[in-house]
Amino acid sequence: MSASDSRNRRGTGNHRFRVGPGLLITAAFIGPGTVVTASKAGAERGCDLLWAILFACLGTIVLQSLAARIGIVSGKGLGEAIRETLAESRVLTPAVMLVIAAIGVGNAAYQTGNLTGAATGICAGVGGTPELWLMMIVACTGAMILVGRYRALHRVLVGLVALLSIAFLSTALFSLPAASRIVSGLAVPRFNLDDLYLVLALVGTTIVPYNLFLHASSAASTWKGEPTSESIVQSDYDTTLSVCLGGLITASILVTASTAFFDTGTAWTSIDEISRQLEPTLGRASSVMFAIGLFAAGLTSSITAPLATAYAVCGCLGWSADPSGRGFRAIALSVVAIGGATAFVFGKSPAATIVFAQLANGLLLPIVAVFLLVVVTRSGNTETERLGGLRLQLARVVVAVVALLGLWRILTLWV
């Protein structure tokens, strides 16, 4: 028996939980977009759109776990897997260009929301003008990517985001609406045409297209050289638990907004007012805590989004995905620059800008997800075939539903 056979045999049935990149994915989507979109949904519709968060979380678990499995089985990122899968096809070039366009536009929009949120948060906390802080954050983010000194700061920022998340979770426990309203909001999908953009925004802020590329690359490195079967099980646990935690945080933000605004008949008009949702637990410190948390969430995502874009584009083009490479850094810096310029132009309405960024990602998600499904479906080896089955069927349903919602939204704009 070979050493590899012995290692795989020892791995079988010994599925210990192991922390993987799941928490990184959760930290990436718990940004200003999630905070603002969930708050707006709760303030305007109460608990009625909780079902959208549940659907988005289930979709995230299914799609992210498939992306992670591709990384584990192939040892490559999703961009590389797409390129290899379509290498002999005539549609390779248009497919690569379509993926790059979807990721580029989506992440530029997402980056706009991240930078706007970070600037709004620090401005509320220490004063100054949003435009000045925006330029400083763009310069800081670009410098960290250029020199590669972002990992230690990233951990600190994730810790601050975790504190903000705990504050929302605690406040939600103190101010839970009637159980019947929560159950009804989770179990009964109901909304009117005016709410369609909020539904898509909630989906777009949770099932983030660039996270599929980030997860595949991270999973490939995390479980490199490990038994495939055991790695897949560990990855599934890691993904499920991490996304469920993120969904719980998103739901708690919506619930606190429902209690603070919808139930009291108070209008929700600006991002600054979100801090009122935390007053039951933080009191006078709610404003400062929220400002710090929003700044950290925005800066964390503003670092992650450009890096994920670079992984995706480099993989699709067949370039080196080394973060120290010139091509990789050029792509990441381009996302920062485009997002910063867009935020500077449209950031005068922060809430609207951030929600629109999530909506854009929701509309572009099916394009990227379809190529994920193509990679899974066309993979020919035995291990990769394990990616199919029920999980693949659920992924198809998720993509179809999001695509139909997006098409519906587009049609309502024209009619």
Give the pLDDT confidence of 58-71 residue by residue, as tens digits: 999 999 999 998 89
What pLDDT is recorded for position 387?
A: 52
pLDDT band at 208 (very low <50, low <70, confident <90, very high): confident
78 occurs within a structural domain:
yes
What number of other Cβ atoms are within 10 A of residue 392's Cβ? Answer: 16
Q: Going by C-beta distance under 8 Å and a sequence separation of 6 or more, which residues neighbour residue 189?
A: 51, 52, 55
Number of H helices, E strands in the chain: 18, 0
Across 69-87, average pLDDT: 87
| Res. 352: pLDDT tops 70 | yes
Answer whether 110's CB lies under 8 Å from 301's CB.
yes
Tokens (6 digits) for 215: 């997860």
What pLDDT is recorded for position 266?
A: 85
Q: What angle (nearest 5°) sits at the alpha carbon of residue 68, between those of residues 66 and 73?
A: 95
3 occurs within a structural domain:
no
- Lowest-confidence range among 199-203, 226-230, 389-393? 389-393
* Local structure of 15: helix, strand or coil: coil
Tokens 């719980």 — which residue? 248
pLDDT band at 16 (very low <50, low <70, confident <90, very high): low
Cα dihedral 179, 184, 187, 191 sign? negative
348 compared with 352, residue with greater pLDDT: 352
| Res. 198: pLDDT tops 60 | yes
243 occurs within a structural domain:
yes
Q: For position 307, which CATH number holds? A: 1.20.1740.10
Q: What CA–CA distance (Å, rounded) separates 4 from 69?
A: 20
- In one-letter notation, the amino acid at residue 180 is S
| Res. 3: pLDDT tops 80 | no
351 occurs within a structural domain:
yes
Across 13-35, average pLDDT: 75
Q: How far apart are the two ends of the chain, measured CA to CA in Å?
A: 67
Per the structure, the count of domains in the chain is 1
Q: What CA–CA distance (Å, rounded) separates 354 from 5?
A: 50
- DSSP assignment of 17-44 equals ----THHHHHHHHSSHHHHHHHHHHHHH
pLDDT band at 311 (very low <50, low <70, confident <90, very high): confident
8 occurs within a structural domain:
no
Across 80-109, average pLDDT: 83
The range of the structural domain enclosing residue 151 comes to 22-414
What pLDDT is recorded for position 153?
A: 60
103 occurs within a structural domain:
yes
| Res. 132: pLDDT tops 90 | no
What pLDDT is recorded for position 166?
A: 82
331 occurs within a structural domain:
yes
- Read off the pLDDT of residues 49-58 as tens digits, 9 standing for 90 and up: 999 999 999 9
| Res. 14: pLDDT tops 70 | no
Cα dihedral 48, 54, 59, 60 sign? positive
Taking the CA atoms of residue 16, residue 19, residue 21 and residue 25 in that order, the dihedral angle to the nearest 10 degrees is 110
pLDDT band at 4 (very low <50, low <70, confident <90, very high): very low
Q: What CA–CA distance (Å, rounded) separates 119 from 332?
A: 20
| Res. 381: pLDDT tops 60 | no
316 occurs within a structural domain:
yes
Cα dihedral 305, 409, 55, 229 sign? negative
